[in-house]
Amino acid sequence: MTPLARFDHYRSRIGRFNPGLNAFLHLRLAEAAVEAAEADARAAAGSALSPVDGWCIAVKANIAVAGLPHHAGIGAYRGDIAGEDAEVVRRLRSAGAVILGTVNMHEGALGATTDNAVFGRTANPWSLEHTPGGSSGGSAAAVAAGLCDGALGSDTMGSVRIPSAYCGVQGHKPSPGRVPDAGVLALSPTLDHVGPHARSVAGLRDMMSALAAAPMASPPAGLAGLRVGVWRAAGQIELTPEVERGLQDACAALRSAGVLLGEAEPPAYAYGRSRRAGLLICEVEAGRIHAQRLGEDPAGFSDSFRRLLAWGAARPAAELEAAYAHVDAVRAAAPAAFADCDLVLAPTAPQQAFRFTDPAPANQADFTAWADFAALPATAICTGVSASTGLPLGVQLIGRRGEDGAVLSAALAAEALFGRPPAPPSYT
């Protein structure tokens, strides 16, 4: 498709599908149409700026897009209009991408349902009664429903990868330092990572090249001979039967393709302790970031969000210090995980998307937070759809710090094995 045809395609789908999904909150279609026409002219002249020139992108609402509200899903900020683009948005524009607008998210990025008291609930394109996951639920839902080519999310304990898994799209959590965070209304500066969602790993790689302002090295990774450590967390994290079966099927397929499977376990990563440490760091850092608005406009925060921030702020300082020390210890120990393998493979989440009416599982981020703590790149990919639930299944590949290119290359080969993510039935 030419850039203009592509833009018209998404504009039409947004009009048709967004009202039922509530993924996009704020659109800039008039400006985007002009930008798409410019991209079209570049394409016609054979002078495209990058592989994502003319791509139509959705941006999570905690990332500034000049002229659009910048609120991170928090009511208190809903009147804030971004004066300039976040650096990641600027980089995507420099690569020729067209920004369609901003998408819904869990309030303040601290939560995993994207059921937002102020901005409404975003539905999962695979089932309107199910959550798209969070906190980047709007980003993953928009990509899954085919309302854009790709989206920006942010991942603090799993917020790019979990909604990617629940909605059946590909998502990448970069190594820290690869993608700048200027212009992001943060949850936790210690753990936040901006990252892309797309319907193909090639799309992730091309977006990452623009976001990192450097081509993602991608040696052609064959799967044969690749040493992959499988992290099952047996006896520690309970997988649903569907996720367990999905992981077994994925392992069988990889083994047939010549992958050498072993076992892996994140060093120093005690599950309960890690979960509590990550949450406390998020609550306390977010409490500091939002302190002024909380004072000025407490009603602009939901009761539950406000309670989390107040709870964290009041914990003993020694507990916060121990949380930071735990993250440091997990990070320092991480290289040992790769002593006997090139990559670690794990479920992205212990379950598939759950119903809005069900309680959010407490262990949702147990498989994802390790990469955030340990500063590792991780790519979540869809491995298919579960026959029993009709919902997507996913795994993640986790690599050594800084080796985003190697992880994406392996994910590209794995995607060739599992197939591209299928479109949700109502959004083909």
The verdict on 315 binding its own copies (CB under 8 A) reads yes
* Helix or strand (DSSP H, E) at 292: helix 291-296
Write down the least CB distance from residue 309 to its own copies, Å: 9
Q: Is 336 in the site for its own copies (CB under 8 A)?
A: no
Q: How far is the CB of 269 from its own copies (least distance, A)?
A: 19
Shortest Å distance, C-beta 312 to its own copies: 6
Residues 251-280 touching its own copies, rule: CB under 8 A, are 280
Please name the amino acid found at residue 101: G
User: In angstroms, rounded to a whole number, what is the distance separating the alpha carbons of residues 263 and 286?
Assistant: 36
Is position 173 annotated as part of the catalytic site?
A: no
- Residue 119: exposed, middle, or buried by beta-carbon count in 10 A (0-12, 13-18, 19+)? buried
Is there a contact between 153 and 140 (Cβ–Cβ < 8 Å)?
A: yes
User: Phi then psi for 274, rounded to 5 degrees?
Assistant: -65, -40
Considering only the stretches 10-18, 30-38, 65-73, 321-329, report the one whose residues sit in contact with its own copies under the rule CB under 8 A. 321-329
- Which one-letter amino acid corresponds to residue 271? Y
The Cα 234–Cα 242 span in angstroms is 15
- Compare residues 134 and 287 and give the one whose CB is closer to its own copies: 287
Strand partners, 343: 228
Decide whether 23 or 184 has the Cβ nearer to its own copies: 184
Select which of 50, 60, 164, 302 is catalytic: 60
- Minimum distance of its own copies from residue 292's CB (angstroms): 12
Q: Is 295 in the site for its own copies (CB under 8 A)?
A: no
CB under 8 A: which stretch of 196-204, 314-322, 394-402, 417-425 binds its own copies?
A: 314-322
As measured in angstroms, the least distance from the Cβ of 122 to its own copies is 31
Shorter beta-carbon distance to its own copies: residue 25 or 186: 186
CB atoms within 10 A of CB 304: 12
Q: Looking at beta carbons only, is 186 or 201 nearer to its own copies? A: 186
| Beta-sheet strand order (sheet of 56-60) | 24-27, 98-103, 56-60, 150-155, 193-198, 170-173, 378-385, 392-398, 343-347, 227-230, 260-263
Candidate residues 312, 399, 421, 424; the one interacting with its own copies per rule CB under 8 A: 312
Query: Residue 33 burial by CB count (10 A; 0-12/13-18/19+): exposed, middle or buried?
Result: middle
Which of the following is catalytic: 50, 154, 159, 188?
A: 159
Q: Which residues are catalytic?
A: 60, 135, 159
Contacts with its own copies, residue ranges (CB under 8 A): 280, 284-285, 287-288, 291, 312-322, 325
